[in-house]
């Protein structure tokens, strides 16, 4: 199947899944009343559709696409197929920052959270970049990310132990990951940010391709290393930060999506990887949200991270088995 056909098919699948999320749910919607939402007359149909279902679909698409792209950026930059925002502690950095503002009662608003989360992920990313140049081999960087995750996790636990009950409950639900907490405004804002970040990343596709050939070769081909690094850090921090602020620390989408894309298409140039990663990420997120809503035994459904881990972990293990790492 050629590239265009794959893109069209994926778009169609995203559209179909989005529609299924919008049309069905625990509340029956009287579709005739939907239009009344615009005239400020509160109806159940309008509220459920515009304030629950639509934001949820939009944030799922944004989070899937955005985390997928930030995962791809990190895998390319570090020449490490197991890099990703949650693996290297970027998500934990965002989580730690949100915990700090939420649990100490300084924040709570989405803008404050998003700002804190972005700063948190930049700090974590800065730390990872600072040490990455000293590491040789793939494993050291991953182990550093693991340790950073432990450390930030421990700090969050300490904060939780000191927190008030109300703030704590809010934070614990957020920590399980969810697409259900977004409002129409936050979901649209994050979606616009993801679209902007994706197109900026796409403009760098040639430089990213050259970067895969190694730093010295890339430099000889005209890649400005420090400029590319700055662009990737800003984008990854913004994406992981804003998405984590709204959805909580979402697992696996960043790590697994690029690998799934590479199973689907034979191309490895970023001018095709970037669009496909955005699309497949969105598709995966919408699919996972069916797991959250559909199979839920409890009324509130299964936690998103549990579903994503059940989808993502086997995928990553399978990719590991397929790939020959002995040469790297």
Partner 1 sequence: MKREGTNGNEHVIRAANLTVGYSGYPRVLSQMDFQWEGAGIHLIIGENGSGKSTLIRTLAGLQKQRGGTVFWGNEDVSQISSTRRTAKMAFVQSLPPRQSELTVSEALALSGRKEENISQWLHTFDLLDMTTKSLCDLSDGLGQRVMLVRAILQDTPWILLDEPTAFLDVKSRQVMWAQLSALVSKGKRVMVSSHDYHLLEGNLDLRSVTAIQENRLHALNPAGTCADWNAHI
- Contact footprint for partner 1 (CB under 8 A): 79, 206, 209-210, 212-214, 216-217, 219-224, 262, 266-269, 327-328
Nearest to 303 by CA among 292, 288, 314, 313: 292
CB of 222 to partner 1, least distance (A): 4
From residue 177, how far is each of 172, 173, 182, 259 by CA, in Å?
Answer: 9, 7, 11, 22
CB of 217 to partner 1, least distance (A): 5
Closer Cβ to partner 1, 9 or 213, answer by number: 213
Residue pair 215/77 in contact (Cβ under 8 Å)? The answer is no
Nearest to 259 by CA among 325, 299, 316, 311: 316
> What is the C-alpha separation between 255 and 270, in angstroms, rounded?
16
CB of 7 to partner 1, least distance (A): 18
Sign, Cα dihedral of 212, 217, 222, 227: positive
Closer Cβ to partner 1, 161 or 216, answer by number: 216
Listed in sequence order, the residues at least 6 apart from 289 whose beta carbon sits closer than 8 Å to its beta carbon are 21, 56, 60, 179, 304
> What is the C-alpha separation between 100 and 254, in angstroms, rounded?
24
Closer Cβ to partner 1, 200 or 265, answer by number: 265
Closer Cβ to partner 1, 56 or 262, answer by number: 262
CB of 73 to partner 1, least distance (A): 15
Closer Cβ to partner 1, 39 or 326, answer by number: 326
SS3 133: coil
Count Cβ atoms below 10 Å from residue 130 Cβ, excluding itself.
9
Closer Cβ to partner 1, 248 or 254, answer by number: 254
CB of 27 to partner 1, least distance (A): 46
CB of 8 to partner 1, least distance (A): 22
CB of 236 to partner 1, least distance (A): 19
Closer Cβ to partner 1, 2 or 166, answer by number: 2
Nearest to 287 by CA among 260, 263, 319: 260
């Amino acid at each position: 199947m050629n590239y265009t056909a794959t893109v069209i098919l994926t778009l169609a699948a995203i559209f179909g899944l989005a529609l299924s999320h919008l049309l069905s749910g625990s509340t029956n919607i009287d579709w005739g009343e939907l239009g009344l939402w615009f005239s400020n007359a509160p109806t159940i149909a309008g509220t459920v559709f515009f304030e629950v279902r639509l934001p949820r679909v939009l944030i799922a698409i944004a989070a899937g696409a955005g985390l997928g792209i930030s995962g791809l950026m990190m895998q390319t930059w570090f020449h490490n197929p197991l890099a990703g925002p949650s693996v290297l502690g970027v998500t934990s950095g965002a989580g730690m920052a949100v915990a700090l503002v939420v649990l100490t009662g300084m924040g709570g608003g989405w803008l404050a959270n998003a700002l804190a989360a972005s700063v948190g992920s930049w700090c974590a990313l800065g730390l990872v970049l600072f040490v990455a140049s000293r590491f040789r081999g793939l494993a050291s960087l991953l182990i550093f990310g693991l340790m950073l995750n432990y450390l930030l996790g421990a700090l969050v636990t300490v904060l939780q132990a000191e927190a008030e009950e109300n703030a704590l409950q809010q934070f614990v639900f957020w920590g399980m990951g969810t697409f259900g907490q977004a409002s129409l405004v936050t979901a649209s804002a994050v979606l616009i940010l993801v679209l902007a970040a994706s197109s900026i990343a796409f403009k760098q596709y040639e430089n990213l391709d050259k970067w895969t050939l190694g730093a010295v070769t890339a430099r000889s081909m005209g890649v400005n290393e420090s400029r590319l690094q700055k662009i990737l850090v800003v984008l990854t921090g913004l994406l992981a930060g804003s998405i984590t602020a709204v959805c909580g620390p979402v697992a696996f989408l960043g790590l697994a999506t690029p690998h799934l894309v590479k199973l689907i298409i034979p191309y490895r140039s970023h001018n095709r990887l970037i669009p496909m990663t955005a699309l497949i990420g969105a598709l995966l997120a919408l699919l996972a949200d069916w797991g959250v809503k559909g199979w839920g035994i409890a009324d509130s459904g299964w936690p998103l991270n549990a579903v994503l881990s059940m989808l993502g972990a086997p995928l990553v293990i399978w990719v590991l088995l397929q790939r020959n790492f002995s040469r790297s």
